[in-house]
Chain A
């Protein structure tokens, strides 16, 4: 008469904590997760295929739509890949501004992450605090390029426009405000007993296993692997910057949280150095009128807020659009680890872990 069976529930695609339209099919034993199946593709817009039919400059606009909470980083990554293909020298000033934008973007993205992650675990005030500061960054971006979310803020070979007068002072002012705000988030979370209980020992993954699963970015560094593209293969002006790469030890949700909180501070450090040392000079390199790279292929990766964002581009040398355009999105690679991470934990931990790997559906599905 009585028997037990596993309960299969659908988390998403319309669920408040799946960060966009992600669907996770959970097999539950009571509240314990036996297995999870990640189903994605709800936000697939065929960006890679579309790019094969656009000219090189038009693609910048498409890269905005991948990781839409860190559009400037995607722009930089794409432009640098094409520059590598064209073997183009980018002026120092442009590289510095790119560094500032990338780091501002990292802070904005991490703000969104800390807010939603805390919200998933039930601390709702952090969400609004973080969005308050994200707003300041969006204002800075608006002043720089006129847009607040999808910036289209780069050009192949440099920048579309020089920074507005007084912008660098505003950036430094923002750094001063942000210093205190990071402490504020930490006051609410870092030593909070409930927060510790909810994040410590949840989703533990060793460095070797994380690497094998292709995890990257802060999610990987939380497991103690000091892999950071900014240090290992410097791009933009990172070789001239002084900063530390924070790593975790335990590889659990709490360590991934600590790593990202420290990255806030390191990003501010980089922004300060880059803004204060901003060199004079041109903002665009010697870009040919018609961008038509010679036949060949290249891969170039940058450190987006979510991890290693790589572009693989093939040019046939004949047309004004890429022959093949392929993105290695960090969110997608990190999402691969989700079933492994949630196994054996409770339903409540699933949302904590989705928050912990910091995914953006736009980038996962492209």
Chain B
């Protein structure tokens, strides 16, 4: 009873809340980091150094009037932000934050669940999120959002291909689709997959930037071109859902990158006995630190780079990343066959 219901529910509760708080603080972090990059201070008024800014933002967004344009497709307009937000959250179900540990006299695994097609689950659920964007642009019945959602669908479909192909080479390395299994495979092979699959990692990260609509691939919401992009007509909490979904997706991509390429919860050099003192640090801390590095890079890139143009983005995806990913997959396969 306890093992079947109470513990999983507790885990879901903790992960969901931690994620939502993480997402709101991610927004603050982004504002702060970009501010520092641009020689300003960022939010400073709410709480010391602006640490309570997310609370103020949340209150503001919830109290705002929620406008539905008269000519919008009411049902789709309401559903779109939800479709966008929900997949971003349920992906966390298979992300392992740590191995099985003993807590209060029970063996508890630090992931909500570990299904044997974990990676497939991540890929398929994450790609549902794009429907939110497409439907938002369609339902707004307005020209700029429509253009943006067309861009979004084209962009996500092309980069999905490249990203998924890199995942296949990781699967070839690990021999399993289970997220926990992939981390264990990295423990057994004594090396993080980023070092044996550097190309796959780079393509995955670039594709990740594109899939989360982050700079330099933030075309669907390019403020300077398409005003607000697909969420031009949205306001209040519905706008906030899109906003949060974007940040939740960033955390998903960082977590998946950590799990697949940087050994998940493993400490650096997990097989070197001389570094055993590092085991004092709980395993999930390593996971969080690694994910944080990726999130920081996400922000850093946004502060530095200009934006790609739509056709250049497609060219990069189809003519550079996908051929490279296929080549990488083929080489991985050949090497694998020769070695065994």
Residues of A within 8 A of B (CB): 7, 9, 15-17, 31, 118-125, 128-129, 132, 188-189, 192, 194-195, 197-198, 346-351
Alpha-carbon distance A16/B225, docked complex (angstroms):
8
Asked whether B227 lies within 8 Å of A123 as measured between CB atoms, the reply is no
Give the residues in chain A near B151, CB-CB below 8 Å: 31
Asked whether B306 lies within 8 Å of A195 as measured between CB atoms, the reply is yes
In the complex, whether B305 has a CB less than 8 A from a CB of chain A is yes
Smallest CB-CB A-B distances: 3 pairs: A122-B307, A128-B38, A123-B306
Residues of B within 8 A of A (CB): 34, 37-40, 143-144, 147, 151, 215-216, 218-219, 222-227, 302-312
Report 26 cross-chain contacts, Cβ distance below 8 Å, ordered by A residue. Answer: A9-B144, A16-B223, A16-B227, A17-B225, A31-B310, A121-B306, A122-B218, A122-B307, A123-B304, A123-B307, A124-B302, A125-B34, A125-B303, A132-B39, A189-B306, A192-B305, A192-B306, A197-B308, A197-B312, A198-B307, A198-B308, A346-B310, A347-B147, A347-B225, A348-B225, A351-B224
Which of A16, A124, A192, A349 has most B Cβ within 10 Å?
A: A124
Alpha-carbon distance A188/B304, docked complex (angstroms):
7
Asked whether A348 lies within 8 Å of B40 as measured between CB atoms, the reply is no
Which of B147, B218, B223, B224 has most A Cβ within 10 Å?
A: B224
Min CB distance A32 to B, Å, is 9
Alpha-carbon distance A346/B219, docked complex (angstroms):
13
Chain B at the A interface: SS class:
helix
A194-B310 contact, Cβ under 8 Å, with A122-B218, A351-B224: no
Alpha-carbon distance A131/B215, docked complex (angstroms):
22
Alpha-carbon distance A348/B215, docked complex (angstroms):
15
A125-B309 contact, Cβ under 8 Å, with A15-B227, A17-B225: no
Chain A at the B interface: SS class:
helix
Asked whether A198 lies within 8 Å of B225 as measured between CB atoms, the reply is no
Which of A7, A120, A122, A189 has most B Cβ within 10 Å?
A: A122
Min CB distance B65 to A, Å, is 19
Give the residues in chain B near A7, CB-CB below 8 Å: 143
Which of these, B302, B307, B309, contacts A346 with CB under 8 Å? B309
5 extra interface residue pairs, beta carbon distance < 8 Å, beyond A125-B304, A188-B304: A122-B216, A189-B306, A194-B307, A197-B309, A346-B310
Give the residues in chain B near A124, CB-CB below 8 Å: 34, 38, 302-303
Give the residues in chain A near B305, CB-CB below 8 Å: 122-123, 192, 194
Give the residues in chain B near A189, CB-CB below 8 Å: 306
Alpha-carbon distance A347/B38, docked complex (angstroms):
28
Give the residues in chain B near A121, CB-CB below 8 Å: 224, 306-307
Give the residues in chain A near B224, CB-CB below 8 Å: 16-17, 119-122, 351
Give the residues in chain A near B39, CB-CB below 8 Å: 128-129, 132
Asked whether A129 lies within 8 Å of B38 as measured between CB atoms, the reply is yes
Min CB distance B196 to A, Å, is 28
Alpha-carbon distance A124/B218, docked complex (angstroms):
13
Give the residues in chain A near B303, CB-CB below 8 Å: 124-125
Min CB distance B38 to A, Å, is 4
Give the residues in chain A near B40, CB-CB below 8 Å: 128
**A355: nearest residue on chain B (CB-CB)?**
B224
Asked whether B306 lies within 8 Å of A118 as measured between CB atoms, the reply is yes
A125-B225 contact, Cβ under 8 Å, with A31-B310, A198-B309, A348-B309: no
Give the residues in chain A near B304, CB-CB below 8 Å: 123, 125, 188
**A15: nearest residue on chain B (CB-CB)?**
B227
Which of these, A188, A197, A351, contacts B225 with CB under 8 Å? A351
Which of A119, A346, A347 has most B Cβ within 10 Å?
A: A347
Give the residues in chain B near A122, CB-CB below 8 Å: 215-216, 218, 222, 224, 305-307
Give the residues in chain A near B311, CB-CB below 8 Å: 346
Give the residues in chain A near B38, CB-CB below 8 Å: 124-125, 128-129
Alpha-carbon distance A345/B312, docked complex (angstroms):
13
Alpha-carbon distance A17/B226, docked complex (angstroms):
9
Give the residues in chain A near B219, CB-CB below 8 Å: 348
Give the residues in chain B near A350, CB-CB below 8 Å: 225
Give the residues in chain B near A118, CB-CB below 8 Å: 306
Asked whether A194 lies within 8 Å of B306 as measured between CB atoms, the reply is yes
Alpha-carbon distance A42/B304, docked complex (angstroms):
34
Give the residues in chain B near A9, CB-CB below 8 Å: 143-144, 147
Alpha-carbon distance A347/B148, docked complex (angstroms):
11
Min CB distance A129 to B, Å, is 7
